[in-house]
Structure 1
Amino acid sequence: MTGVMESGNHVLCATVILILLLLFVFAALCTTMPSKYGDKINITNMDDNNREGYISTGNGRIWFRIVGADGKKTPLLLLHGGPGASHDYFESLSVLSDERPVIFYDQLGCGNSDKPEDLSIYTVENYVKELGEVRSALGLDEVHILGQSWGGGLAAAYYLDGNPEGVKSLILSSPLLDTGRWISDQKAYLSEMPEEIQEHVRHAEETGNYDSKEYQDAMNYYYSVHLCRLDPWPPVLIKTFEKMSIPVYMHMWGPSEFTCTGTLKSFNLTGNLSEIDVPVFFICGEYDEAAPGSMKYFSGLVNNPELLIIKDASHENHLEKEEEYTEAVRKFLNAAD
């Protein structure tokens, strides 16, 4: 009987040791990336074909998620807008992961990433540097970059900062490329609206009172025409607005869509767009804040451009005309591969 008990104890001990070893291996998998990635990665979630975690940078941790991590074609890196928004409104683009890895990340101060209180770090230069750190940490030696709104300006600024190797194409989706021109386009749109809407906006800008119900109603009307024409708005867009980093937006842009008082006030890349020597795909909506006339102008400054103006759509055209948008992007990416 004693021998049987001793044998059983040995089996039990061996089982416990095996379980502990398996737990150790699992823990290791959950905290490190495969060898093709950098060593500044902390994984918080991983399954067969997806990765989620944080990248350590000089200013804080950057949240990321890779969908379709085992895809064979060149990865697509997404840069959200704002400034101060989050990745959530990009969720529809995960459909492209059937062919290639699609990488979401929240810029510092935004969404799931760290939110340092020192506003001085939220600059174009630091976000350009951060983008390089994300690429390096994730081992994105070759990549397509899609930036929307402010993210489009970031994508172009990153490329123009040093013509980085391995960027195979840029998709500039309703991009901010010249703050002065952007403001002019918004004021032109505003001038076409009912006089009551114009007056509420003028009053807010003159008094600095942007919290009044009248101004909020005027902005909601403006957004329904030029930001997103869907009613109701998609849950992913609402989620992005709920997570919007107001401090980052205020610091970089300001309190009004029609006047920039932040660090982006003098942002203007038009003089350098001719230096981009990879394929560039401009996309905008017919009623976009990134006005079609401006997109035609910008595309004319680039050596190898394509331009798509999506009918009956505005700034969130990737949500308003989801199938048309994703198929156009897919076709462009496959040609640029």
Structure 2
Amino acid sequence: MVTITEGFVPVTGGKVWYQRHDYNTKNAPVIVLHGGPGSSHWSLQGLKELADIRPVILYDQLGCGKSDRPKDPTLWNIERFVEEVKQLKDGLGLNEFHLLGHSWGTTLAAAYYLKHPEGVKSIIFSSPCLSAPKWADDQKQNLRNLPIKIQQTIEECEENGNTDSQAYKEATKIFNNHFVCRLPESERPAFLKEGSKYRNSEIYNMMWGASEFDVAGNLKNFDCTQELHKIAVPTLYTCGRYDEATPESTEYFSRLTPNSKFHVFEKSAHMPYIEENDKFMKVMKDFLSLDTIH
């Protein structure tokens, strides 16, 4: 029977909420790092299913979800988020653990490991963003695969500062339907819409910027590709065939990482954990069950 515990851990700037799912196994837990920046664990809550392999720790990063929302803008930088992960694992008394990051969560997972590799048993990079410039270039390429009218609307709105306009929102929705989640609205789980209330756009705008297609925030120059050879633990890279995190870039990151595996979910965009849930869970469980990473 699964045991669910939840609570708060103090970190720099406030307290973060966590929830642990555990079948009382002795395996090292996996910490899930959600996307954003400024999103929450909400869309990734299905990953609690991995608890039959090893304990799963879901948590909301500071400023979003069920965690504290301090108003101090100096908190929104990758260095503090890296220390937040360390403060979380220390607060939970973890000596060994695995990291599963999605999207911005992979940025955080890589930055964390490269500073604090001790105790990390393996890393899963789900739809990775390990180079902000490369991500921006990939989105421009993805945009070119859409109808010319959509391209023009997005480009004109961004040039004129009209990213709050209805035209821009409708155009980006079409982009999202191609490259973020390809499921029809009627087939998407209700919690996807519910999760919007847990986001913090202030963090996203400060760290990434107002646009998905041009990084203007303090992550603008983040690029750890030259350090991926330092990852010395088993590593899994995954993405969707139509992902914002393109298969080409994801495979490139994997080639730079020793002892890594690479998998593409053929019917998914950026949310294979929802778009192809059964296949996603099988790939995750197979990796997390490896004898070499317990």
Instruction: Indicate the TM-score class for this superposition, using the shorter chain for normalisation.
Output: over 0.9
Q: Residue 37 of structure 2 aligns to which amino acid in structure 1?
A: P
Say which of 198, 204, 212 aligns to 2:157: 204
> Could you tell me how far apart the structure 2 residues matched to 1:99 and 1:64 are?
19
TM-superposed deviation, 1:92:
1.2
Matching residue within 222, 225, 239 for 2:178: 225
Match of 1:152 in 2: 106
**Counterparts of 1:196 and 1:129, CA distance in 2:** 44
Q: Confirm or deny: 8 A CA contact 1:284 1:290 kept in the other structure.
A: yes
* 8 Å Cα contact 1:51-1:69 kept in structure 2: no
Cα separation, 2, equivalents of 1:48 and 1:109: 29
Hey, what does 1:274 align to over in structure 2? 229
Distance 2:175 2:77 in 1: 28
Q: Which residue of 2 aligns with 1:113?
A: 67
Is 1:333–2:288 an aligned residue pair? yes
Q: Partner letter of residue 263 of structure 1?
A: N
Match of 1:243 in 2: 198
Q: Number of aligned residue pairs: give it.
A: 290
Displaced runs of 4 or more, over 3 A: none
1:21-64 per-residue CA deviation (whole Å, 9 max, x = no partner) reads xxxxxxxxxxxxxxxxxxxxxxxxxx971111111123100000
Identity rate of aligned residues, in percent? 40
C-alpha separation in 1, matches of 2:116 and 2:37: 22
The answer for the alignment partner of 2:215 in structure 1 is 260
Correspondences of 1:314-325 after superposition (within 5 Å)? 314-325=269-280
Q: Indicate if the aligned counterparts of 2:39 and 2:200 stay in contact, CA closer than 8 A.
A: yes
Superposed displacement of residue 69, structure 1: 5.9
Kindly provide the amino acid, as one letter, of the partner of residue 223 in structure 1: N
2:120 corresponds to 1:170: no
Q: Within 2, Cα distance between the matches of 1:301 and 1:224?
A: 30
Establish whether residue 80 from structure 1 lines up as the match of residue 34 from structure 2.
yes
- In structure 1, how many angstroms separate the alpha carbons of the residues matched to 2:110 and 2:194? 26
Equivalent position amino acid for 1:73 in 2: N
Indicate the larger mover: 285-294 or 60-69: 60-69
**1:236, distance to aligned residue in structure 2 (A):** 2.5
Look up the match of 1:127. 81
Structure 2 unaligned regions, length at least 5:
none
Take 2:68 and 2:23, find their aligned partners in 1: how far apart are those partners? Answer: 24
Q: Which residue of 1 aligns with 2:11?
A: 57
1:104: Cα distance to partner?
A: 0.5
Gap runs ≥5 in structure 1: 1-46
Secondary structure, counterpart of 1:114 in structure 2: coil
Q: Tell me the residue number matched to 1:95.
A: 49
For the residues of structure 1 that align with 2:193 and 2:255, how far apart are their CA atoms?
Answer: 34
8 Å CA contact 1:82, 1:149 repeated in 2? yes
Question: C-alpha root-mean-square deviation of aligned residues, in Å?
Answer: 1.3
Is 1:305 the counterpart of 2:244 in the alignment? no
* Residues 71-100 of structure 1, C-alpha deviations (whole Å, 9 max, x = no match): 332211100000000001111111111232
> TM-score when scaled to structure 1?
0.84
1:91–1:236 contact (8 Å) kept in structure 2: no
Is the CA contact 2:268–2:276 (under 8 Å) kept in the aligned structure 1?
yes
Q: Determine which structure has greater relative contact order: mean sequence separation of CA pairs < 8 Å that are 6+ residues apart, divided by chain length.
A: 2
TM-score normalised according to structure 2 size: 0.96
